[in-house]
A and B are shown apart, each in its own frame.
Chain A
Amino acid sequence: QVQLQESGPGLVKPSETLSLTCSVSGGSISGYYWSWIRQPPGKGLEWIGYIFYSGSSNSNPSLKSRVTISLDTSTNQFSLNLRSLTGADTAVYYCARYYCSTDGTCHYFDYWGQGILVTVSS
């Protein structure tokens, strides 16, 4: 059974950079697309971006200038860096795996981490 676990700081100061890691167990990170999704307290889900095991990635146009997603197949982990933080970045951050068919079409998020609450405050 694939399991995902987010790790990182729970509190970050405004203007700083958030670094989160998602550890994947019970399966290989290779061959799959992986994603970060966040949810501000009491609000809806927001897609942040994805990375393929080959390294190709894309991100939400609204966050693109501040987001870097990377992946390390040797440790079975992928990471999120979000720069220039403000209070609006306070959220529960989830990592998730895409279910994709053999033609490369991705259909939905099939495995999720439990989420990590990140608060941006001085």
Chain B
Amino acid sequence: QSALTQPASVSGSPGQSITISCTATSSDVVSHNLISWYQQHPGKAPKVMIYDVIKRPSGVSNRFSGSKSGNTASLTISGLQAEDEADYYCCSNAGSGIWVFGGGTKLTV
């Protein structure tokens, strides 16, 4: 069982906003605020969309945003587009050189 829990699936219509949660079983897992989010299309390698909870790498659309409250990090996608349909994974640098991924969330647009 992953130390980071995500919903198995979420869905939304084009133009709408959705939020994917990522809840840690222990505060230690997310206490460093080194949480990142990855988008993965079928048959492709993951691509980072958010890092350090709220930061966007260069080139990532500002429709993607991140936040955190307590032990739960969240990824929000606004103005949903068909191309956003993918699997999304949260990931945390849990300290002591250990990294963990969430179980993944399938987004259907």
Whether A associates with B in a native complex is yes
Q: Which residues of A contact B (CB under 8 A)?
A: 35, 37, 43-47, 50, 58, 60-61, 94, 99, 105-110, 112-115
Compute how far the CA of A44 lies from the CA of B36 in the bound complex, rounded to whole angstroms: 15
Of the candidates A44, A46, A106, A112, the one whose C-beta lies within 8 Å of that of B45 is A112
Contact in complex: A106, B93 (CB < 8 Å):
yes
Compute how far the CA of A43 lies from the CA of B104 in the bound complex, rounded to whole angstroms: 8
- For residue B77, give the distance in angstroms from its CB to the closest CB of chain A: 18
Contact in complex: B48, A44 (CB < 8 Å):
no
Inter-chain contacts of A37 with B (CB < 8 A): 101
Q: Which residues of B contact A (CB under 8 A)?
A: 2, 34, 36, 38, 40, 45-48, 51-52, 57, 89, 91, 93, 96-104
Contact in complex: A108, B91 (CB < 8 Å):
yes
Compute how far the CA of A32 lies from the CA of B33 in the bound complex, rounded to whole angstroms: 21
Inter-chain contacts of A105 with B (CB < 8 A): 34, 93
Inter-chain contacts of B51 with A (CB < 8 A): 99, 107-108
Compute how far the CA of A114 lies from the CA of B40 in the bound complex, rounded to whole angstroms: 12
- For residue A7, give the distance in angstroms from its CB to the closest CB of chain B: 15
Of the candidates B48, B57, B93, B104, the one whose C-beta lies within 8 Å of that of A45 is B104
Sample 15 A-B pairs with CB under 8 A, ordered by A number. Answer: A44-B89, A44-B103, A45-B38, A45-B89, A46-B101, A58-B98, A60-B98, A61-B98, A106-B34, A107-B93, A108-B48, A108-B91, A109-B36, A112-B47, A114-B45
User: Which residue on chain B has the smallest CB distance to residue A4?
Assistant: B45
User: Which residue on chain A has the smallest CB distance to residue B36?
Assistant: A108
Chain A residues touching B, majority SS: strand
Inter-chain contacts of A115 with B (CB < 8 A): 45
User: Which residue on chain B has the smallest CB distance to residue A101?
Assistant: B52
Contact in complex: B97, A44 (CB < 8 Å):
no
Compute how far the CA of A112 lies from the CA of B5 in the bound complex, rounded to whole angstroms: 24
- For residue B9, give the distance in angstroms from its CB to the closest CB of chain A: 13
Contact in complex: B101, A50 (CB < 8 Å):
no
Inter-chain contacts of A50 with B (CB < 8 A): 97, 99
Which of A44, A61, A106, A113 has the most chain B CB atoms inside 10 A of its CB?
Answer: A44
